Structure 1
Amino acid sequence: MTLLNPTLRQPERDDFVPALSATQPDNQLNLSDFSDFFQASQAISHQQKNSVYRLRHKVYCEELNFEPPRPSGLEQDEFDRRALHCSLADASSGEVAGTVRLIHCEQEPGPLPIEQYFAGRFTAPNLMPACFPRQQVCEISRLAVAAKFRRRIKDAAAKDLPALSSSSRPFNRYIAIGLYLMATAMCLEKGYYHGFVTIEPSLARILQRIGINFNQIGEAIDFNGKRAPYYLDARQVVTNLQPEYRELMQRLSSQLLTEPQEVASSRQLLSNTDLKWAIA
Structure 2
Amino acid sequence: MTLLNPTLRQPEQNAFVPAISAEKPANELNLSDFSAYFQASQAISHHEKNKVFRLRHKVYCEELNFEPPRPSGLEQDDFDRRALHCSLADAQSGEIAGTVRLIHCEQEPGPLPIEKYFAGRFTAPHLSPACFPRQHVCEISRLAVAAQFRRRIKDTAAKDLPALSSSSRPFNRFIAIGLYLMATAMCLEKGYYHGFVTIEPSLARILQRIGINFNQIGEAIDFNGKRAPYYLDAREVVANLLPEYRDLMQRLSGQLLTEPELVASSRQMTTNTDLQWAIA
Asked if Structure 1 and Structure 2 have the same fold, meaning a TM-score greater than 0.5 normalized by the shorter chain, the answer is yes
Whole-Å separation in 2 of the counterparts to 1:235 and 1:246 = 12
> Cα distance 1:213–1:58, how it changes in 2: closer, same or farther (>3 A)?
same
User: Is residue 98–residue 144 contact of structure 2 (8 Å, CA) maintained in 1?
Assistant: yes
Query: Alpha-carbon deviation of 1:105?
Result: 0.1
Whole-Å separation in 2 of the counterparts to 1:65 and 1:165 = 25
User: Is residue 194–residue 231 contact of structure 2 (8 Å, CA) maintained in 1?
Assistant: yes
Query: Alpha-carbon deviation of 1:259?
Result: 1.4
Question: How many residue pairs were aligned?
Answer: 230
Whole-Å separation in 2 of the counterparts to 1:28 and 1:129 = 39
Give the AA of the match of 2:243: P
User: Is residue 87–residue 99 contact of structure 2 (8 Å, CA) maintained in 1?
Assistant: yes
Give the AA of the match of 1:253: S
- 1:211-250 matches, cutoff 5 A: 211-250=211-250
Query: Alpha-carbon deviation of 1:25?
Result: 2.8
- 1:54-93 matches, cutoff 5 A: 54-93=54-93
Whole-Å separation in 1 of the counterparts to 2:89 and 2:31 = 17
Q: TM-score, normalised by structure 1?
A: 0.79
Q: Which runs of 5+ in 2 are unaligned?
A: 1-22, 154-165, 265-280
Whole-Å separation in 2 of the counterparts to 1:258 and 1:223 = 36
Whole-Å separation in 1 of the counterparts to 2:208 and 2:262 = 37
- 1:31-110 matches, cutoff 5 A: 31-110=31-110
Whole-Å separation in 1 of the counterparts to 2:263 and 2:215 = 37
- 1:159-198 matches, cutoff 5 A: 169-198=169-198
Query: Alpha-carbon deviation of 1:205?
Result: 1.0
Whole-Å separation in 2 of the counterparts to 1:263 and 1:40 = 10
User: Is residue 151–residue 167 contact of structure 2 (8 Å, CA) maintained in 1?
Assistant: no
- 1:254-269 matches, cutoff 5 A: 254-261=254-261
What percentage of residue pairs aligned between the two structures are identical? Answer: 88
Structure 2 equivalent of residue 113 of structure 1: 113
Structure 1 equivalent of residue 268 of structure 2: none
Whole-Å separation in 1 of the counterparts to 2:211 and 2:104 = 23
Are 2:123 and 1:123 aligned? yes
Query: Alpha-carbon deviation of 1:24?
Result: 2.8
Query: Helix, strand or coil: the match of 1:142?
Result: strand
Whole-Å separation in 2 of the counterparts to 1:53 and 1:72 = 10
Query: Alpha-carbon deviation of 1:244?
Result: 0.6
- Larger mean CA deviation between 62-71 and 143-152 belongs to 143-152
Query: Alpha-carbon deviation of 1:77?
Result: 0.2
Query: Helix, strand or coil: the match of 1:92?
Result: coil
Give the AA of the match of 2:83: A
Query: Alpha-carbon deviation of 1:152?
Result: 6.5
Structure 2 equivalent of residue 202 of structure 1: 202
Structure 1 equivalent of residue 275 of structure 2: none
Whole-Å separation in 1 of the counterparts to 2:199 and 2:107 = 26
Query: Alpha-carbon deviation of 1:262?
Result: 7.8
Query: Alpha-carbon deviation of 1:49?
Result: 0.2
User: Is residue 25–residue 31 contact of structure 1 (8 Å, CA) maintained in 2?
Assistant: no
Whole-Å separation in 1 of the counterparts to 2:50 and 2:37 = 22
Give the AA of the match of 2:147: A
User: Is residue 89–residue 98 contact of structure 2 (8 Å, CA) maintained in 1?
Assistant: yes
Whole-Å separation in 2 of the counterparts to 1:177 and 1:111 = 26
User: Is residue 255–residue 263 contact of structure 2 (8 Å, CA) maintained in 1?
Assistant: no
User: Is residue 82–residue 108 contact of structure 1 (8 Å, CA) maintained in 2?
Assistant: yes
Query: Helix, strand or coil: the match of 1:79?
Result: helix
Give the AA of the match of 1:261: E
Structure 1 segments, 4+ long, off by >4 Å, are none
> Cα distance 1:219–1:27, how it changes in 2: closer, same or farther (>3 A)?
closer
Query: Helix, strand or coil: the match of 1:230?
Result: strand
Q: Deviations over 1:125-154 (max 9, x none)?
A: 11010000000000000000000001379x
Structure 1 equivalent of residue 10 of structure 2: none
Whole-Å separation in 1 of the counterparts to 2:107 and 2:171 = 37
User: Is residue 41–residue 88 contact of structure 1 (8 Å, CA) maintained in 2?
Assistant: yes
Query: Alpha-carbon deviation of 1:76?
Result: 0.2
Query: Alpha-carbon deviation of 1:26?
Result: 4.3
User: Is residue 210–residue 245 contact of structure 2 (8 Å, CA) maintained in 1?
Assistant: yes
Structure 2 equivalent of residue 253 of structure 1: 253
Give the AA of the match of 2:196: F
Whole-Å separation in 2 of the counterparts to 1:71 and 1:125 = 40
Q: TM-score, normalised by structure 2?
A: 0.79
Q: CA RMSD in A?
A: 1.8
